[in-house]
Amino acid sequence: MGSKRSASSRHRPLSSGEVMFAALFAILLLLCAGLIALSWLVIKDSGKDAVFGKNHETRGTFKVISGATYNLNLQDKHSVEFKVLAFDIQQMIDGIFQSSNLKNEYKNSRVLQFENGSIIVLFDLFFAQWVSDENVKEELIRGIEANKSSELIIFHIDLNSIDIAGNVSITCQPGSRPCADAPQCVSTDLFCDGEINCPDGSDEDNTICATACDGRFLLTGSSGSFQAAHYPKLSTSTAVCQWIISVNQGLSVELSLDSFNIHYTDLLNIYEGVGPSKILRASLYETDPGIIRIFSNQVTVTFLVDSDENDYIGFTASYTVFNTNELNNYEKINCDFEDGFCFWVQDLNDDNEWERVQGSTFPPFTGPNFDHTFGNISGFYISTPTGPGGRREQVGLLSLPLNPSLSPVCLSFWYHMYGENVYRLRINISSGDYMEKTVFQKEGNYGENWNYGQVTLNETVEFKVAFNALKNPMLSDIALDDISLTHGICNQSLYPEPTLVPTPPPELPTDCGGPFELWEPNTTFSSPEFPNSYPNQAFCVWILNAQEGKNIQLHFQEFDLENIEDVVEIRDGGEADSLFLTVYTGPGPVKDVFSTTNRMTVLFITDTSLAGRGFKANFTTGYHLGSPEACKEDEFQCENGECIPLELLCDHHPHCQDGSDEAHCVRLLNGTTENNGLVQFRIQSIWYAACAENWTTQTSNEVCQLMGLGNENSSIPTLSTGGGPFVNLNRAPNGSLTLRPSKRCLQDYLIWLQCNHQSCGEKLVAHEVAPKIVGGTDAKEGAWPWMVGLTYNGQLSCGASLVSSAWLVSAAHCAYGRNLQPSKWTAILGLHARSDLSSPHIETRLIDQIVINPHYNKRTKDSDIVMMHLEFKVNYTDYIQPICLPEENQVFLPGKNCVIAGWGRLYYGGPTADILQEADVPLLSNEKCQQQMPEYNITQNMICAGYEEGGIDTCQGDSGGPLMCQENNRWFLVGVTSFGYQCARPRRAGVYVFVSKFAQWIQSFLH
């Protein structure tokens, strides 16, 4: 029987060797686990980069030592100078990396800042995956040394200055401040404006944007409140509190001021939208405005505290949301103005706004003393701006879009037109972009009482109602109250029709007399009735004169015209065919104008409604007024007037700010067309014939491209028969051409070069023009890739044709009076349907230069052509291509079928097209066109097209668009839509600018 051992004796103690072995094993186990985890994280991250394309960003700098000149405008990221240079530098960087060993990883670049010191460029580079800074720097240096970008012909980069590193500090200019985590400067005005401008969003961070009034900034709920219950202590002369309300897309905001007691110098502004493009909808002080509705899901509220008073309690405000789509027509219209403007909207395109008034208006003897709803001073009504006023003003009130009704409805209202200078009240119905009709109109003084008005509406498409009042200066208030919409036609009114007391005053005479011939010292003249409002339908002519050999400087001391509709046109000379200088309109001030001859014509033309104070002008005469001083004999004068040393002309580096010293440095001489001839290079002021030695196809292509043409068609050595001078061509190590003047060519051969035309007029989307269909038909997307839509102030106004990556051709009458602020124009390229501006085929560009043809005459419609320059060049795609320009005096015979296109009206007085329309039209002879259009003078600068029976034509809104004809499988811009009699009438041709007559003028902008 075995013995039984105790529990303590079951395990013997471990030896020291076993303990060491166990510890070593545990350490190795932990080390392996750590390495496995680290490897997994690395593999996970790299896998994530590979699968999801995680970006890698690095930053760098280099110095541009020639090819660009530093100026202070380069500090402003919104300036043209910054945008142009940044675009060129980015193109250069992109070109280098897209042809480098990193081309598969490289994505794009971004220029952040320019600093002085030649020009120091700060930029970001973006890659699809991690790339070492050393590798990036090597590829950048290698690409610059190998001239892998065409921009390197212009820019010379200091290779020793290239640095690719992590964070680079950034210094902001006065008026701007840095973002929190991104090295970028943003204008101080853009902080806390509701739009994110910093990449990290720090400009809208609540910690810096919270107001001093209540500590709030961004309000996002479906309801909320904000206040300035106790004025903030003024840290500066003015304190500002700003709130942003941002609710769900599709909703609108209703604001209520629960209490409102602020000093008269303080102001509460309410804007529709956010950021710089927000629109002021209400500016409030002292008086409670009632409920304010903003028809946008984003609202900016700004409280400007300018007082240092302590006894004003401020305001408290609350907001809720509503959906306009849930409102019916009756809810949108009915309003007694007791709680605000209901759902009516001020027309911001007019001169002033309606005012909500309680009690009587000032001055006396005009306007109501009480409202209509209650008949006492407790109620509210709306009035044209109260006070005497200094000019005639149009004031408009718009409804929201109303749904078409299945049966008639009655619009009723009460109006008050009292005062000896009262002018006019109209009710207009509008649908679509252009259609508008007047359904009610009253003019004159109807006495001190409220009058009833009504009109039956029976609209079959969506429409708006507009109350438009035209207010004269002094005693001329017009008021409205109790607007209502009821079902069914209007019944016979129970109220008598009001009568005028007294009869309206007669219209002012519009005959200015003249034309007036003015000579020194009689040099001051003004519009009729100045400084009071000028008459409507005026046409006045002054001819200013100077002694032979002198020219004229015209200066406007005061200038105030109705914008666009009333104009002052200035022409260079005193004859009927004098050249167009400029046209002025709107409020002043305006720039001085200089003639090139000893005579100048000034025309003043007004329309049938509205007026400003007019103008007062004077002129002086002298020698070379407005012209830059002549340069020295050893200097070249740039087109902008500056002088540079002659040896810098055509040295491959622009020294003129406008680049004109490098604009005309190569030409083709004695050719049969513009694209062939003997090659000549300009060195300083002398033209040298190019010798045939060392000439290559690459040289031909570069020369052709310098002249704005396509690649080489052929180059032929031609025996020299002249005495020179000559130039030998060689290629430098960096690949650029070098020119060496010579007394003779070694082999006595010159180069005759034939260049291809630039690729143009080719449709890259397969398409055939529709047959003759009345009114045209929808074009296929991409059918006319050179077709451009032009918007003015956001409204599609005209068409245009793309003739290069930077220039458009359109009709001068489109830009006439709208040429002073080119940036109000936007070009929409690749446009097919106006309702689909989000199409990926669309590119938009602002216009930054407008040049009306100097021979344009608005009254005769001759030379109705204009050039418009895109702020930035456009890249060609299948949906954006240039159209070909015809040769000078190229003939297109009558009977040839050509094509018209545009988004204009579908018929005279009808709606505009959503989808681009196209149609065939045959060309007509000018003789036949003159027979069909006897009231016009059809000149050799015009070409006509259309059918004898009518039915197809361009119409309003198509102006500026192309008349295009096909020759040798390419489309040519033969005409620019100019004018006609109504639209598509029988034996009434459409008249177009004949582009062949202006080919040389257009080409002067392109090359």
Domains assigned to the chain: 56-165 (3.30.70.960), 210-326 (2.60.120.290), 331-341+351-503 (2.60.120.200), 516-622 (2.60.120.290), 664-755 (3.10.250.10), 777-1006 (2.40.10.10)
Residues 6+ apart with CB under 8 A from 23: none
Tokens describing residue 124? 């970001």
Pick the more confident residue, 238 or 64.
64
Does the pLDDT value for residue 560 go beyond 50? Answer: yes
Cβ pair 748, 719 in contact under 8 A: yes
Q: Determine the 3-state secondary structure of 975 from DSSP.
A: strand
The mean per-residue pLDDT over the stretch 992-1006 comes to 93
Segments of 524-675 assigned E as strands: 524-526, 539-545, 551-560, 567-572, 579-585, 593-594, 599-605, 614-622, 635-637, 643-645, 666-669
| Residue 313 pLDDT | 72
Q: Pick the catalytic residue: 813, 832, 855, 869?
A: 813
CA distance 573 to 496: 59
| Integer Cα distance of 418 and 425 in angstroms | 12
Mean of pLDDT values over 801-811: 96
Residue 314 is predicted with a pLDDT of 81
DSSP labels, 58-95: EEEEEEEEES----GGGG-TTSHHHHHHHHHHHHHHHH
Q: How far, in Å, CA of 341 to CA of 334, rounded?
A: 10
Average pLDDT over residues 969-996: 93
Q: For residues 790 and 813, is the Cβ–Cβ distance under 8 A?
A: no
Of 241, 92, 205, give the one whose Cα is nearest residue 154. Answer: 92
Task: Tell me the three state secondary structure of residue 21.
Answer: helix
CA distance 954 to 123: 49
**Annotation says 864 is catalytic:** yes
Mean pLDDT of 902-922: 89
Q: Are 255 and 270 in contact (CB under 8 A)?
A: yes
Type of residue found at 652: H
Residue 318: the pLDDT is 95
Task: Answer whether residue 686 shows pLDDT above 70.
Answer: yes
Residue type (1 letter), 831: L
Which residues of 726-876 form beta strands (DSSP E)?
726-731, 737-742, 749-755, 777-778, 787-792, 795-802, 807-810, 825-829, 843-852, 866-870
Strand, coil or helix: what is 142? Answer: helix
Does residue 430 carry a catalytic annotation?
Answer: no
For residues 681-703, average pLDDT: 91
Give the separation between CA 826 and CA 343, rounded to whole angstroms.
31
Q: Residue 183: pLDDT band by 50, 70, 90 thresholds?
A: low
**Separation CA 846–CA 874 (nearest Å):** 11
In the chain, the N- to C-terminal Cα span, in Å, equals 120
Q: Kindly report the average pLDDT of the chain as a whole number.
A: 86
**Helix, strand, or coil (residue 945):** strand
For 506, residues 6+ apart whose C-beta sits below 8 A from its C-beta are: none
**Candidate from 37-46, 217-226, 431-440, 763-772 with smallest mean pLDDT:** 37-46
Tokens of 260: 């409102």
Q: Which residue has the higher pLDDT, 609 or 525?
A: 525
Check if the beta carbon of residue 288 is closer than 8 Å to that of residue 257: yes
CB atoms < 10 A from the CB of 775, how many? 16
Q: Which of 797, 959, 978, 996 is catalytic?
A: 959
Per residue, what are the HEC states of 339-401? Answer: CECCCCEECCCCCECCEEEECCCCCCCCCCCCCCCCCCCCCEEEECCCCCCCCCEEEEEECCC
For residues 374 and 460, the answer to whether their CB atoms sit within 8 Å is no
Contact indicator for 778, 836 with CB cutoff of 8 Å:
no
Does the pLDDT value for residue 868 go beyond 90?
yes
Q: At 174, give phi and psi (nearest 5°).
A: -55, 140
345/401 Cα distance (integer angstroms): 11
User: What is the per-residue pLDDT for 629?
Assistant: 85
| Paired sense of beta strands 516-518 and 539-545, if any | parallel
What is d(CA 915, CA 902) in angstroms, rounded to the nearest whole number? Answer: 9
Q: Tell me the mean pLDDT in the region 275-296.
A: 87
pLDDT confidence bin for 829, thresholds 50/70/90:
very high
More confident residue, 47 or 80: 80
Contact (CB, 8 A) for 906 and 954:
no
Is a pLDDT exceeding 90 seen at residue 663? no
Reported confidence tier of residue 381, pLDDT bands at 50, 70, 90: very high
DSSP structure string for 216-267? --EE-SSEEEEEESSPPP-SSSSEEEEEEEE--TT-EEEEEEEEEE--TT-E
**Distant-in-sequence, close-in-space partners of 132: CB < 8 Å, separation ≥ 6:** none
User: What one-character DSSP code corresponds to residue 759?
Assistant: S
pLDDT in tens, 224-281: 999 987 665 555 545 789 999 999 999 999 999 888 888 777 889 999 999 998 999 8
pLDDT tens across 460-512, in order?
Answer: 889 999 999 999 888 889 999 999 999 999 998 889 889 887 544 444 445 67
> CB–CB of 822/957 below 8 Å?
no
- Give pLDDT, residue 169: 54
Query: Do the beta carbons of residue 1001 and residue 852 sit within 8 Å?
Result: no
Average pLDDT over residues 933-943: 93
pLDDT band at 17 (very low <50, low <70, confident <90, very high): low
Nearest Cα residue to 113 out of 137, 85, 143: 85
Cα Dmax for the chain: 150
CA distances from 929 to 286, 956, 984 (A): 65, 20, 14
Torsion of CA 639, 644, 649, 655, to 10 degrees: -80
**667 beta partners:** 680
Please compute the mean of the pLDDT values over residues 406-410 and round it to a whole number.
92
Contact assessment for residue 617 and residue 557, using Cβ atoms and an 8 Å cutoff: yes
Residue 166's pLDDT is 61
CB 114 within 8 A of CB 82: yes
For 120, phi and psi rounded to 5 degrees?
-95, 125
Question: In which residue are the tokens 């000893």 written?
Answer: 598
Question: Residue type at 494?
Answer: L
The mean pLDDT of 60-82, rounded to a whole number, is 85
Confidence of residue 290 (pLDDT cuts 50, 70, 90): confident
Known catalytic residue at 56: no
> Tell me, what's the pLDDT at 433?
54
* Bigger pLDDT: 199 vs 59: 59
Give, for 106, the enclosing helix (H) or strand (E). Answer: strand 106-116
Tell me what the mean pLDDT of segment 714-743 comes to.
87
**Quick one: pLDDT at residue 671?**
82
Alpha-helix residue ranges (DSSP H) falling in 148-239: 206-209
One-letter amino acid for residue 854 of the chain? P
Using the predicted structure, report yes or no on whether residue 54 has a pLDDT greater than 80.
Answer: no
DSSP state of 548: T
Q: Where is average pLDDT lowest: 50-59, 418-427, 480-489?
A: 50-59
pLDDT-derived band at 23 (thresholds 50, 70, 90) equals low
pLDDT at 846 over 50: yes
Exactly one of 864, 869, 953, 958 is catalytic; name it. Answer: 864
- Residue 167's φ and ψ, nearest 5 degrees, are -75, 135
* Residue 118, pLDDT score: 83
Beta-strand relationship, 726-731 and 686-690: parallel
Task: Identify any residues that bridge with 971 across adjacent strands, giving them in sequence order.
Answer: 966
More confident position, 754 or 662 = 754
